[in-house]
Structure 1
């Protein structure tokens, strides 16, 4: 009989100990400490699916061939051929495509589109792999759902045009069956939706618990590395937005991607939180519609109203200002809108959307102290367009300019943008990678940019740069205050 040890593990932070606590001693969360049984059966005792060898036996054979230590100078540096997902945005976030044998975890809130994205990816890969059949793989794609039946997945695949002959669908929650299907079909790509619904019969614990998630992830990683098959795992998130299950789940997998977006808008963003094969500062943009998910290769116009500066319908409106933020290697224009009204409440309101609420109070105080524009007794409303995020310090100058424009009823030209961080002393400081932001501004048709003094002169063709060292100088350059 296998030796069994009992431990208690926190599902939020991963703390473990030999005693149960109602409140986790590490993170302080209540009701997150669960019983964890560490049990491992003897070799050959695992019940295998039809046509499937024992996982323990296959791992031992593979480990014997790759466990020998070699000098680093004798190890080849051949470029691994990556598998394209059919989405250039997805490939860029992954570092150029899917690496064979890698395990990628896709996490996100319920209903955000994780399953739709991966099912459409499965259809794209199956379409590109059609006709491929060799000893390395069958050219098929395996989609295993533990949440929906085969008929339900087929209906969604029809809606998003992902029906392909070599796309195999399976509906099961048993881990041994999942591993047997992967070993039988040897697909070019395997997708498991989701890790929290798969259950191993060899360990105790409820579905989605720390014990089961750890065992399921370990088994799928072993199979992926042994057979050199890339695997996508769908992960649930908790109410605070973190990935459900033990923290070790994120350490075990090769790539962790967060699929996020506002449920009220169609824009979806895919971010790489961890990536062993590429950068972690890339972001992919997608558009969610009734026909599925479409990639947005040029999202620059999503966060601007009136069609942007080059549109004939664009006219200056008081209380608006455009800035440029950085999301990974991509520079995005964000339009900040502000509304200033006389307050009838003892405590004026500060309502914001898409900006940092804590910075509004600070910027209002700086605006009063250094530019003599008193908005402390007014209700202030600040928002961005289409769910854009202007939370970085480089958006300070645009926020203050929008507030000043709304308070003085003086609009800012639509062809003018403002980029810079504002300090408590009223100085305007440069934001990181200013040249990237300015080149994107010139590409979109902006002709003037109010920026802080730069250490190194930058020349952007078609863009007039106005350097302002203080907040007062910046407002004067924008035509708001004389």
Structure 2
């Protein structure tokens, strides 16, 4: 017989499944409002990207919140480092709280013993690949070990209603290390990304049983740790928007989130037999295509020049909607004509020079207006349905030539 009888769904309380804030807004955004009791969240990322620093920050924030609510402590179990090493990092990033408990363990039964003794309100395990079970053959990180450890932690989370955050390693090709079943077992799978030498970090949900998978969280990795960025525009736009040739602002979409990006271009006389085409932050193939379209449809010749196209702050602007900003920036650099400081442009450019429709134009315009831009060049297709944006003059264009003419009327 079943332990409990089946009941009408309307009689079942949903309170125990309500998400609770982690205290970090950008993480809550990705998780769908917070972390659900009993949920198991896998955080994957490359070595050195800041996974442990992020989760230590989260653990300290949750510990402070749990203390205020009179709940159990937060238990942070590390198999990667010694307890002393984690303590040093916690001091550096100011992540020390009386309700944050720390244990260095690599054996599953000892880890579960800590859970039994501490009765935590949140469990953090760094990382699932370093924990091994004595009941299973093989070394830690092996397929059978990862499956057994993850299964035991998931069972503990569901039985006790404890949310669990697991750190996961990634393989050389960017996939999550370990058996594929790990991603199916957990409730949420997130990817923590960023250039190792840059400050920006992005958190994406690849799978989420409790919320959307098209939200992106932005974080700034600095000397004092990781800080959520509700407004990341300061990293992607030049501080002084002076009239300088070779620049054009655009707005990309990371999931549902509009992200402002400044495109910069430089056209210089080549000193080698073969002109260079160098890009950073933009799609190399699309930038090369934009140069070909400008040469064929507008007679903007760059065949004998080195062309450099980059984004400010190490941002990634690889979606087709950045084509128009790249084209305007290149023409601006080639003709040594500055673009107006309040201008923003987005749209895909086809091989015939036509400007194609772009998704999320309304959201892009609203974000640009919020940041002080007052003039936008957008694709003509789809512009009929746009609502007016206060303080923003919108110019729909059908061809890249129209866009360049509007952005650089003096040229």
Q: Report what 1:94 is aligned to.
A: 31
Alignment partners' CA distance in 1, 2:387 and 2:158: 48
Among 127, 131, 147, the alignment partner of 1:214 is 147
Distance across 2 between alignment mates of 1:173 and 1:216? 11
Task: Say what the alpha-carbon RMSD is for the aligned residues.
Answer: 1.8
Structure 1 segments of 4+ aligned residues over 6 angstroms from their partners: none
Q: Which residue of 2 aligns with 1:49?
A: none
Separation in 2, partners of 1:348, 1:64: 74
1:65 counterpart residue number: 3
**1:70: how far off?**
5.1
The correspondence of residues 294-443 of structure 1 with structure 2, limited to 5 A, is: 294-307=227-240, 314-443=241-370
After superposition, where does 1:75-224 map in structure 2 within 5 Å? 75-78=12-15, 80-130=17-67, 132-133=69-70, 139-224=72-157
* Aligned match of 2:158: 225
Cα shift readout 1:47-68 (whole Å, capped 9, x = no counterpart): xxxxxxxxxxxxxxxx9536x6
Q: Deviations over 1:361-418 (max 9, x none)?
A: 2111111111111223322111000011111111000001111111111110111111
**Quick check: 1:247 aligned with 2:163?**
no
- Alpha-carbon distance between aligned partners in 2 of 1:64 and 1:108, rounded to the nearest angstrom: 41
Q: Deviations over 1:9-37 (max 9, x none)?
A: xxxxxxxxxxxxxxxxxxxxxxxxxxxxx
TM-score by length of 2: 0.95
- Given that 2:26 and 2:217 are in contact with CA atoms closer than 8 Å, whether structure 1 keeps it comes out as yes
Q: Please identify which structure carries the higher helix content.
A: 2
Cα gap change, 1:170/1:80 in structure 2, threshold over 3 Å: closer, same or farther? same
The corresponding residue for 1:4 is: none
Of the three residues 196, 200, 221, the one matched with 1:288 is 221
Could you tell me how far apart the structure 1 residues matched to 2:68 and 2:395 are?
A: 59
1:376 alignment partner, SS class: coil
1:211 is paired with a residue of what secondary structure?
helix
Alignment of structure 1 residues 453-464 onto 2, 5 Å: 453=380, 454-464=383-393
Check the 8 A contact 1:365/1:376 in 2, yes or no: no
Q: Is the counterpart of residue 467 in structure 1 residue 396 in structure 2? A: yes
Larger Rg: 1
TM-score normalised by length of structure 1: 0.81
Query: What runs of 5+ residues in structure 1 fail to find an aligned partner?
Result: 1-62, 308-313
Cα deviations across residues 175-195 of structure 1 (Å, max 9, x unaligned)?
A: 111122213322100001100
In structure 2, the partner of 1:43 is none
Q: 1:266 offset after TM fit, Å? A: 1.6
Aligned match for 1:237, one of 170, 175, 178: 170
User: Separation in 1 of the partners of 2:44 and 2:84?
Assistant: 24
Quote how far apart the aligned CAs of 1:333 are: 1.2
After superposition, give the CA deviation of every residue in 1:107-129 in whole Å (9 maximum; x if it has no partner).
11112111111111111111111
Give a deviation string over 1:238-264, Cα, whole Å, max 9, x none: 122221111111111101111111121
